[in-house]
């Protein structure tokens, strides 16, 4: 789908302050339906220029868009489905490993083994229609291309609870750094103001909420609970005649998962806020469900309202970016902003290597939304 507008009306990109980025983890680079055999597709993750593609055998790959010889972008060259060829001197690389296979200028007098030279290639795996790329930190050394190799985290994957389900994906660029994007993602108090609509909420629907949270590795969980009764989509699930229960997790570096169960009916979503650069990010939502599975037109209706929802968040972020350009003083309050405080503490613990969790145990928070 086309990305939504993230510039001013004059076409000028709106950017705020930069954020410290988390490496040594998986990030979604793009949707795999954009990858075709024999063609390269450019993307940017964590300020790194990438090329992605699909080999003739169907496997996907990701490489840094730079030839190790003289630095020209590999995207300027050629790809035949098996090797990436640099436009400048014709060096050929196997794309999954980055190994150089051919240096055309070598003669019988040269003793250089081309296969000992590597372009930068990243582990890359396909899950739920995304090309996930593992981005190591500086000085981490070359990572093997397989996600099953020891030492790599598991590739994120959307939870499913059956074999029959529908899926949808939404995406939007955000002109703010990843920290602001994630804080906006987990903010529980903006709903009645940003997402005012007859099918969601209004200011008059604000009521006091009590939610229980518990620590999980590198994140926290909003414990299983009955979802908000002032949101129309949740009310619809009542037609099944079973209690509705939802669980929401946030896990570093950027993932929010939500699972809603109603008897044997379910809805799950995986939302990621991915740093494209230090000052911009992208939100992706991939969802699966068997709710109203046989009802006609559910998928286009769900995508229509989902796009409206994401667009409301995006417009707010664009407006916020205008204010952030001036580096104003900001604040976080309790209890509505406590998850944001946890996120920053978790991130710092990850960056400094202490692994210290900000939560000592379960906590109960209260706010109005």
pLDDT tens sequence across 302-353: 666 667 767 777 777 777 777 877 777 878 888 889 999 999 999 999 999 9
Asked if residue 202 has pLDDT above 90, the reply is no
Closest CA to 3 of 325, 276, 301, 279: 276
Q: Cβ neighbours of residue 147 under 8 Å, at least 6 residues apart?
A: 123, 125, 134, 154, 155
Give pLDDT, residue 152: 86
- Cα 232 from Cα 251, distance rounded (Å): 27
DSSP per-residue codes, 296-329: TTHHHHHHHHHHHHHHHHHHHHHHHHHHHTT---
Contact 148, 169 (CB under 8 A): no
Asked if residue 195 has pLDDT above 80, the reply is no
Q: Cβ neighbours of residue 186 under 8 Å, at least 6 residues apart?
A: 250, 256, 339, 340, 343
Contact 268, 158 (CB under 8 A): yes
Q: Which of 171-185, 242-256, 306-320 has the lowest mean pLDDT?
A: 306-320
Give pLDDT, residue 150: 60
Stretch 102-127: mean pLDDT, rounded?
A: 95
- Cα 171 from Cα 169, distance rounded (Å): 7
Contact 166, 288 (CB under 8 A): yes
Give pLDDT, residue 11: 53
Instruction: Give the count of alpha carbons within 13 A of 5, CB side only.
Output: 10
Stretch 140-154: mean pLDDT, rounded?
A: 71
pTM: 0.86
Contact 279, 18 (CB under 8 A): yes
In percent, the amount of the chain with pLDDT more than 90 equals: 56
Stretch 197-214: mean pLDDT, rounded?
A: 73
Within a 10 A sphere around the Cβ of 271, how many other Cβ atoms? Answer: 20
Average pLDDT, the chain: 85
Stretch 122-126: mean pLDDT, rounded?
A: 96
pLDDT tens sequence across 45-88: 999 999 999 999 999 999 999 999 999 999 999 999 999 999 99
- Cα 177 from Cα 275, distance rounded (Å): 7
Give pLDDT, residue 1: 31
């Amino acid at each position: 789908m086309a990305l939504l507008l993230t510039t001013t009306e004059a076409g000028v990109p709106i950017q705020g302050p930069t954020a410290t980025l988390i490496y040594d983890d998986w990030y979604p680079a793009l949707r795999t339906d954009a990858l075709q055999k024999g063609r390269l597709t450019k993307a940017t993750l964590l300020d790194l220029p990438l090329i992605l593609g699909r080999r003739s055998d169907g496997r996907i790959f990701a490489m840094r868009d730079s030839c190790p010889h003289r630095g020209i972008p590999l995207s300027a060259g050629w790809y035949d489905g098996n090797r990436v060829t640099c436009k400048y001197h014709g060096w050929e690389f196997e794309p999954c490993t980055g190994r150089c296979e051919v240096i055309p200028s070598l003669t019988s007098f040269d003793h250089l083994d081309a296969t000992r030279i590597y372009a930068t290639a990243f582990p890359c795996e396909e899950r739920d229609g995304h090309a996930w790329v593992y981005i190591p930190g500086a000085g981490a050394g070359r990572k093997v291309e397989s996600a099953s190799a020891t030492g790599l985290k598991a590739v994120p994957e959307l939870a499913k609870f059956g074999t029959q389900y529908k899926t949808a994906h939404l995406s939007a660029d955000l002109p703010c750094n990843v920290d602001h994007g994630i804080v906006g993602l987990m903010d529980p108090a903006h709903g009645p103001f940003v997402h005012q609509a007859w099918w969601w909420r209004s200011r008059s629907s604000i009521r006091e909420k009590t939610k229980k949270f518990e620590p999980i590795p590198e994140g926290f969980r909003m414990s299983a609970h009955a979802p908000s009764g002032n949101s129309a989509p949740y009310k619809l699930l009542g037609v099944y005649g079973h209690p509705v229960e939802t669980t929401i997790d946030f896990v570093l570096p950027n993932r929010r998962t939500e699972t809603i169960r109603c008897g044997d009916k379910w809805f799950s979503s995986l939302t990621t806020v991915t740093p494209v650069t230090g000052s911009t990010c992208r939100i992706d939502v991939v969802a699966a469900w068997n709710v109203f599975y046989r009802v006609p037109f559910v998928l286009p209706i769900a995508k229509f309202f989902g796009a409206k929802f994401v667009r409301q968040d995006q417009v707010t972020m664009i407006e916020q970016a205008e204010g952030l350009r001036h580096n104003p003083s900001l604040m976080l309050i309790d209890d509505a902003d406590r998850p944001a405080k946890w996120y920053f503490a978790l991130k710092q613990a990850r960056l400094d290597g202490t692994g210290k969790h900000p939560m000592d145990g379960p906590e109960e928070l209260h706010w109005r939304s």
